[in-house]
Structure 1
Amino acid sequence: MRYKFAARIYCAFEIEAESEEEAIAALEDAEMDTGNLGTLPDGSPIVARLETIEDASGSTEWSAVAIDGDEV
């Protein structure tokens, strides 16, 4: 049997771009599908299927939280 769980996951990811606007445009145009969250004790992968993605603040507008490792 397969058991499905719904979860709210917060993560951070980086996008290489010349400006924040370019990075946001790339993010908004990205095709999101699945993400690997690690492994279970038996080594099986934990694969998450992305259903929705939004800024961690809950805003409908994306904004960078760091640039080149420096928090903004």
Structure 2
Amino acid sequence: MTLQLKVPNMACSACGESITKAVKTVDPAAIVHADTKTKLVHIETQAAEVAIVEAITAAGYTVNSH
């Protein structure tokens, strides 16, 4: 499944790395692309969207479904 999430408070590449790590705690095989310019995170995962959103939120980021 492909998810596209808006993360408005993702400011830099370190934020993108933190979000990637958070997603991989839920699905270690996930493919994550975080674009700091557009504030969009594209995720290829087998995990439920709610679990991914919860992990990113727990890492300190705001998530808006896009």
Give the TM interval when normalised to the shorter protein: 0.3 to 0.5
Instruction: Give the TM-score, by structure 1 length.
Output: 0.33
Normalized per residue, which structure has more strand?
A: 2
Q: Say which one has the larger Rg.
A: 1
Normalized per residue, which structure has more helix?
A: 2
Q: Which has the higher contact order (CA 8 A, sep 6+)?
A: 2
